[in-house]
Homo-oligomer: A and B are copies of this chain.
Amino acid sequence: MTEQSARQQLVAGAADMIRRRGLNATSIREVAKHSGAPLGSTYHYFPGGKHELAAEAVRYAGDTVAGILAAKLRIGPVEGLRAFLALWREVITSTDYQAGCPVLAVSIEETPVGEERPAAVTAAGTAFTTWSSQLAESLRHHGVARSRAERLATLVVAAAEGAVAMCRAQRSTKPLDHITTELTTLLSAAVDQRRTD
């Protein structure tokens, strides 16, 4: 295995553990085990320890989703929306509701007072901003006013993230299916409205 792929495997392994159990419950020892890597290698690649690895895992997840979103948004905003929601549906169904979004998972853990904000939380904020901006940009490109585009894009990301958690708690895809119907109608109307102005 090359240096690059061994390192990449640890990052992907950390992202997978975090999307399943959250940041606090993920230890560097278990990431190494989960990824089939020797424990020593984690400190070789990530001298900053768990928080450095977690930040990379969040960036990796953020970039992966951004890549899928960018490809589909080239067709149009509604296609981008559908791909974004289908992606999360695939995550929960392919893992029997055991996994969700690692970006959400790191966002909801407290930063002890006086301590620096973990780099992973900052990376999570950036991932959310990136996805929203991609969607907003596409909506604007299809004629939706800037402020409305920004609000709709935020609604899409927020609803998808919340729905994934609801699906896991309810062991049902219904929440994601419900929001897919509503958001598809909403975004289609926003784009069409402009066309008929």
For chain A, residues 156 to 195, give those with C-beta under 8 angstroms from any C-beta of chain B: 157-166, 168-171, 174-175, 178-179, 181-183, 186
Bound complex: CA A169 to CA B182 (Å): 26
- Which stretch from A36-44, A49-57, A75-83, A108-116 is at the chain B interface? A108-116
Judge whether B21 and A110 touch: CB under 8 Å.
Answer: yes
Provide the A98-117 mask, 1 if CB < 8 A to any CB of B, else 0. Answer: 11100111111111010000
Most buried by B among A160, A170, A171: A170
Judge whether B169 and A158 touch: CB under 8 Å.
Answer: no
Copies of this chain in the oligomer:
2
Interface residue tally on A, bucketed by range: 35 or more
Add 8 more A-B contacts to A154-B163, A157-B162 (CB < 8 A): A22-B24, A22-B108, A24-B24, A25-B109, A129-B170, A151-B179, A155-B159, A162-B165
B residues near A20, Cβ cutoff 8 Å: 110
B residues near A21, Cβ cutoff 8 Å: 24, 109-110
Minimum C-beta distance from A54 to chain B (A) = 13
Query: Is A32 at the interface (CB under 8 A from chain B)?
Result: no
B residues near A31, Cβ cutoff 8 Å: none
